[in-house]
Amino acid sequence: MRIPPVESAPISVDRAFVVQFAEETDIAAARFAGRVEHIASGEAGRFASLNELLDFVGRKLARTAGNNDT
């Protein structure tokens, strides 16, 4: 699979994350586990469900949006 080049402005690292899925992750069974790290802050956490992963990402994005309001 070839990934097309990015033609728009670069994405801010404030909105970048690294997600590492644990061995027990099974997408077909809707089982998610692993570690997520917010690149800009270095804050990281573990998750044991898709909701926990999305909660972490949502909190970081909300803080980023709040900081841009000033």
Is the Cβ–Cβ distance between 39 and 13 less than 8 Å?
Answer: yes
pTM assigned to the model = 0.78
- Residue spans per domain, the chain: 16-23+30-68
Q: CA dihedral defined by 55, 57, 59, 62, rounded to 10 degrees? A: -130
pLDDT at 69 over 60: no
Residue 11's CB is within 10 A of a number of other CB atoms, namely 9
What one-character DSSP code corresponds to residue 23?
T
Q: Mean per-residue pLDDT for 24-41?
A: 97
pLDDT of 17 strictly over 70: yes
HSE at residue 44, side-chain half, CA atoms within 13 A, is 10
Give backbone dihedrals phi and psi of 32, rounded to 5 degrees, phi first. Answer: -125, 135
pLDDT tens-digit series, residues 53-64 = 999 999 999 988
Q: What is the mean pLDDT of the segment spanning 3-30? A: 88
Residue 12 has pLDDT above 90, yes or no: no
Query: Residue 19 has what pLDDT?
Result: 98
